Structure formats: C-alpha cells, structure tokens
Amino acid sequence: MEKGTNITVFIRRFDPEKDPAPRQQQYTLHVERGMTVLDGLHMIKQTQDPSVGFRFSCRMGVCGSCGMMINGVPGLSCNTQILDVATTALTLAPLPNFNLIRDLVPDLVPMFGVIKGLQPYIQRNDVEEMENPTMEYFQTPHQLEEYLQFSYCIKCGSCMAACPTMATDKEYLGPAPLTQAYRYNTDSRDDAGDARRDLVAASHGIFNCHYAGECSNVCPKGVDPARAIQLMKKDLVLRYFGLGKHKCAHLCKKPDRSTYKPKIEAAPFTIGQ
Amino acid sequence: MDNKQYDNHLGIIGWLGGGRWGVERYLYILHRVTGLGILLFFLIHIFASSMRMYGPETWAAAMAILKNPIFKLGEFFVFVAFAFHALNGIRLILIELGLAVGKAEEPIYPYKSSLNNQRPLMVIVMVVVAILIIAGGYNTFFGSH
Ligand code: SF4
Ligand code: FES
C-alpha cells in the first residue's frame, strides 16, 4: 500500500475542433496516498498525454477554477484525494449544466454574469455617505453571522452542476447566484433588498427551486445554498406582504481616541499619517 | 476565441436520472413524477366521467371496463401518489417558508447543512406516508366493497 497502486482513470475528452460530441479516454495512473485528483491530472499531462485540458489556479480550494465531476459527483479536483474516492477506477468529467469549452473545462462565464446581474454588492440609500464615508457602519456579531456562511462561496459551479432544476431550465438563476443575492440582502448594511426582490422572484427565479438539496450536499465550502434559498423565499414573502422589520445599519461614530493612551507607543512616523 | 462550445446541460436525465444522490433528491424526483401521475389521472377521470354525456349505455359500458382489476391497481397507485404528493408537499411548504432549515452557521468541516435540520421532519412525513399507503392498500384490496 505504501508503494501506491495503479488505477484506471477515465477522462471525458472534447476538442471543439475535432469532436462532434465528448468521448471517453482511458489512462492508467500510479496513485499514492495524499495524491489529489488535480495531481493525478498533472501526472497524466506530464507523462502520458499533453493534450488533456483542465483548469486550475490556486490548487488549494480557494479559487474555484477546478470543479469537475469526480466519480459522478461535482467537487473540486484540488481538494479531493484520489484514494478517498476510488480504489480501482476514477471517472472524471466536466461539470454539466454549463457549456463545455474543452475536455474538463466548463464555461462558467454565464454564471458569473447572472451573479453580477443580481447586484452582489452593498448599496445604500444614503448615496453620499456610501461614496464618501465619514463614519463606520455599526454591525453586531449576530448580524455578521446571518450572512457570513454564504460569503464563503468561491463560485466553483459545483452546486449548479448538481442542481436538477438547472438541468432542464437553462434560464434558471441557479443556486450560486441566488445565494449571493441573499448574502447581500441579509447584510445589515445593505438597502437594495427591494431592488433585488423583483430580479430574484421573476420567472426562472428562486421559486423554481423545490429543495432537492443537492447543492448543499456537494458544496466544497459548506456554503449551503439550499438554506440561503429557502431563507430568501421566506424573506421575499415577508417583503411582498410588507411584513417583517426592515432594518439598515446605523452609522457609528469612530471611538474617540483623544484620551486613549496605548500601552506600547506607536512608532513616531506612523502618527498623524 | 472561437465559440464552438458543446451544450452540456443534462436535460430530463438531469432531474430524472439516478446517481449518487441524497434522499431529498429522490423525493424531489418522486414529487414531480407523482405530480404528473396525478395530473394524468385527472385527465383520465374527466374523460371517463364525460362518458355520461353519451347516454346511460355508453356510461354502463365505460363502467364495465373500469371493473377490470387493472384499474383497482391503478386506483391504488393514484392513492399512493396522492398520499406522497400531499404530505411531501406540506414538508416542502414548511421548508420553503424557511421554517425547517435552521439558521446560517459557521461552516466547519465536515460540513452540516440545512438538509440535516429538516431530516427529522422528512422522516416523520415519510413514516406517515408509509402508514397511509399500507392502510389505503389494505382498504383497496381487502376492504369490503
Ligand atoms: S455555493 Fe458552493 S458549490 Fe456553489 S459555487 Fe459557491 S462554493 Fe461552489
Ligand atoms: S485550483 Fe483553486 S479551487 Fe482547485
């Protein structure tokens, strides 16, 4: 076992120039403990077939470039170890429910477009204060917790690939964008919930979700899009009926430090700059 | 860059297809299938009832066809679909009103999700569905009529 073992790797290949449809190609790979799927792909590219196409960047589960179907389940290839998911055979395929650019590379750009369309940034009614802030916004730890989980999304698209609604409805906004809309809706500093409301609740929108829950099962960051979506449905219902308290964070004066004496004196050149 | 891309949307297989999925995913499939089944029953029901329009003879002939044991089985399936769809629907309404999915929490590996929050509800609902199906089956096949 220490010396590693040989497994068969099946990779879905697609070259837009030559192939009318994706095909399967088979490789034999020597796998050792600790080797990730991404390591395996590098190994195949270096020693067997330089034409295998895959995408990666950070190789540590942060950038969200390397999502793919690993033995039929969407996940990040860089934080999945081969021997955790396979003993004799490993099947790799590009994330479905996206267009396919090449081999294991799906086109995530439409998803980014949808996320952008849902205004994933803080907007306030006091525009002047937002553009030229004079003070900080007050936010309690509890208010932070309400959206923190959903802010861990790395836009890898795994949830979109797992979603059965996404499979049949190309116009469906999808779990990742909806989660981002909720993340900002529920941020106590934000005022644009009503603007996002009509975008999110339109047809092909949030109410096409029927809680298959698969997005939350596959999310590599524990973001739980299914929860965000259900909580946002509740929020939307309340908003449409004009119920529920709509709160927006107050401005908070910076603490007065004129009488404050630090225990360790700051270096002189940092003062007053 | 050339844009010759391959459309990799899964289509019908994406929601109907099996795979290594969680329980709730299968309930999602069943909910749709039973919904379509009930709709189909509804159409057949209207069609069969409309036989009345063509006079008592046609009606009697239609009723004679429906005496076939196959339709008894069909009736049972309609009941199964109805029991599942109704109760699972109640579960979905509760969930979609944000009542059974818990609150946002710090993701700590191994991740838990809202699926864990709603699972007791899911189990209770499925037990009730099973009891109803058994009772309904008993009534359909061994009941006195
Ligand atoms: S919610 Fe999770 S699975 Fe979906 S894009 Fe974000 S990190 Fe990936
Ligand atoms: S390479 Fe960045 S998440 Fe896998």
pLDDT, tens digit (0-9, with 9 covering 90-100), for B48-88:
888 888 888 888 988 888 888 888 899 999 999 999 999 99
pLDDT-derived band at A90 (thresholds 50, 70, 90) equals very high
> How many whole angstroms from B8 Cα to the centroid of ligand 1?
19
Whether the link from the prior residue into A268 is cis, omega within 30° of 0, is: no
Closest C-alpha residue for ligand 2 atom 3:
A61
Ligand 1: atom nearest CA of A215 is: 3
Write the CB contacts of B95 (distance below 8 Å, at least 6 apart in sequence): A211, A230, B101, B118, B121
- Size (chain B), residues: 145
Chain B: closest CA distance from residue A89 (Å): 16
Averaged over A192-206, what is the pLDDT?
92
pLDDT above 90 as % of chain A: 75
pLDDT digits (tens, 9 = 90+) for B88-132: 999 999 999 999 999 999 999 899 999 999 999 999 999 999 999
The domain limits of chain A are: 5-106, 109-253
Residue B69: the pLDDT is: 86
Provide CATH code, domain A5-106. 3.10.20.30
Whether A237 sits inside 8 A of B97 (CB atoms) is yes
Residue A247: the pLDDT is: 66
Residue B1 pLDDT > 50 = no
Q: Give the helix/strand (H/E) hosting A159.
A: helix A158-162
Question: CA B143, CA A219: separation in Å to the nearest integer?
Answer: 49
pLDDT digits (tens, 9 = 90+) for A15-55: 999 999 999 999 999 999 999 999 999 999 999 999 999 99
Strand, coil or helix: A107: strand
Ligand 1: atom nearest CA of A150 is: 1
Kindly give the pairing relationship between strand A5-13 and strand A89-93: parallel
> How many whole angstroms from A156 Cα to the centroid of ligand 1?
5
pLDDT-derived band at A126 (thresholds 50, 70, 90) equals confident
Residue A113, classified by CB atoms within 10 Å of its CB into exposed (0-12), middle (13-18) or buried (19+), is exposed
pLDDT-derived band at B3 (thresholds 50, 70, 90) equals low
- Tokens coding A56: 């990666």
pLDDT above 70 as % of chain A: 92
pLDDT-derived band at A173 (thresholds 50, 70, 90) equals very high
Ligand 1 mutation pick, A219, A224, A227, A232, max ligand atoms within 8 A of CB: A219
Whether B98 sits inside 8 A of A235 (CB atoms) is yes
Whether A222 sits inside 8 A of B11 (CB atoms) is no
A99 at interface of B, judged by CB pairs closer than 8 A? yes
Residue A7: the pLDDT is: 96
Whether A164 sits inside 8 A of B105 (CB atoms) is no
pLDDT-derived band at A130 (thresholds 50, 70, 90) equals confident
A73-102 burial code (b ≥16 CB/10 A, e <16)? bbbbbbbbebbeebeeebbbbbbbbbbbbb
ipTM of this complex: 0.89
Residue B144 pLDDT > 90 = no
Residue A273: the pLDDT is: 45
CB-nearest partner of A99 from B6, B102, B105: B6
Residue A248 pLDDT > 80 = no
Residue A180: the pLDDT is: 97
Candidates A178, A191, A190; CA nearest to A224 is: A178
Chain B: closest CA distance from residue A79 (Å): 13
Whether A217 sits inside 8 A of B11 (CB atoms) is no
Question: CA A163, CA A180: separation in Å to the nearest integer?
Answer: 16
pTM over 0.95: no
Ligand 2: atom nearest CA of A58 is: 2
Name which residue leads in pLDDT, A59 or A252: A59
The domain limits of chain B are: 17-140
- For tokens 């095909």, the residue is A23
Provide CATH code, domain A109-253. 1.10.1060.10
pLDDT digits (tens, 9 = 90+) for A57-68: 999 999 999 999
Closest C-alpha residue for ligand 1 atom 3:
A219
Which ligand places an atom closest to the C-alpha of A56? Answer: 2
Provide CATH code, domain B17-140. 1.20.1300.10
Strand, coil or helix: A96: coil
> Looking at beta carbons, which residues of chain B come within 8 Å of A106?
8
Residue A231 pLDDT > 50 = yes
* Cα separation of the two ends of chain B: 72
Residue A157: the pLDDT is: 96
Best of B1, B9, B118 to mutate (most A CBs within 10 Å, chain A): B9
**Which alpha helices (DSSP H) does chain B contain, by range?**
12-16, 23-50, 56-66, 69-96, 114-142
Chain B: closest CA distance from residue A14 (Å): 9
Residue B13: the pLDDT is: 84
Residue A109: the pLDDT is: 96
Ligand 1: atom nearest CA of A160 is: 4
